[in-house]
């Protein structure tokens, strides 16, 4: 076998590995968006590797990250979960703080202020409530400072491709986490006569909290298996 043939085989194998890697990240982020409550079809979430390659392979034979963008609207159930429940003092609360999400795979080999600013401007200009930016390299600290600066206009979340190769919530050691609505949270605190700060905590940067897009002040119900009780639930406050 000639050196050119050997090189071509190695390039083809590397391309296959890269395609499979991006397909896994694509599947995970779709599962993540669906698990949060956004509307996606099963065909979008469960796309096969062959269909993925057919859809996103460019003229040069590699996967085009620029084509791997998508958006999704919150379901009625998700809107209800984020809704502000009416109270005696506020019978007409503001509408739910949730909206359409935009997901983008960035092909750039460096991600700084320019890329983050462009992403934030795209979200704002198109009225996306939330944006998920997926990169194959770490984002610079200066660029990350833009996220809190634009928080009043749009929410930005960032993930590395390598962190999405496996869906952590599918691991047998990770219990099921369920976000409580604001109304469910209020009833929980009332039932046990607690302040939310008395609940055990889950950090905003916890991998499952990031997967679910949790916000400070939200409460998740964690359902674990028990040999004696079958299943039991605990609650954590996101801080």
What pLDDT is attached to residue 227? 76
The model carries a pTM of 0.92
Alpha helices in the chain (DSSP H): 3-36, 42-45, 49-56, 76-82, 113-125, 141-144, 146-149, 182-192, 207-212
Q: How far apart are CA 52 and CA 39, in angstroms?
A: 20
The domains of the chain, with CATH numbers, are 3-165 (3.40.1340.10), 169-238 (3.90.940.20)
Q: How far apart are CA 223 and CA 2, in angstroms?
A: 58
> Can you read off the two tokens belonging to residue 161?
């491709």
Q: How far apart are CA 190 and CA 35, in angstroms?
A: 28
Q: What's the length of the chain?
A: 239
Q: Please, what are the averages of pLDDT over each run of 10 residues along the chain (239 residues)? A: 69 85 97 98 95 93 95 96 83 85 97 98 97 98 97 96 97 94 94 95 97 97 85 94
Sequence-distant (6+) residues with CB within 8 A of 128 are 71, 99, 100, 101, 102, 122, 154
What pLDDT is attached to residue 60? 85
């Amino acid at each position: 076998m000639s050196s050119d043939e050997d090189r071509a085989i190695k390039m083809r194998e590397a391309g296959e590995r890269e395609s499979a890697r991006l397909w896994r990240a694509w599947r995970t982020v779709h599962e993540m968006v669906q698990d949060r409550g956004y509307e996606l079809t099963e065909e979008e979430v469960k796309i096969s590797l062959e269909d993925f390659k057919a859809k996103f392979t460019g003229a040069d034979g590699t996967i085009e990250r620029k084509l791997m963008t998508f958006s999704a609207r919150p379901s009625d159930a998700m809107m209800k979960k984020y809704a502000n429940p009416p109270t005696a003092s506020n019978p007409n609360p503001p509408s739910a703080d949730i909206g359409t999400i935009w997901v983008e795979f960035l092909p750039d080999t460096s991600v700084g202020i320019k890329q983050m600013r462009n992403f934030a401007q795209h979200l704002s200009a198109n009225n996306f409530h939330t944006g998920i930016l997926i990169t194959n390299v770490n984002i610079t600290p200066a660029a990350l400072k833009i996220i809190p600066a634009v928080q009043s206009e749009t929410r930005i979340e960032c993930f590395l491709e390598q962190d999405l190769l496996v869906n952590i919530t599918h691991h047998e050691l990770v219990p099921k986490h369920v976000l409580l609505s604001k109304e469910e949270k209020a009833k929980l605190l009332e039932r046990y006569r607690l302040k939310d700060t008395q609940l055990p905590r889950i950090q905003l940067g916890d991998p499952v909290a990031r997967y679910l897009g949790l916000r400070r002040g939200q409460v998740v119900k964690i359902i674990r298996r028990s040999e004696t009780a079958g299943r039991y639930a605990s609650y954590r406050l996101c801080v």
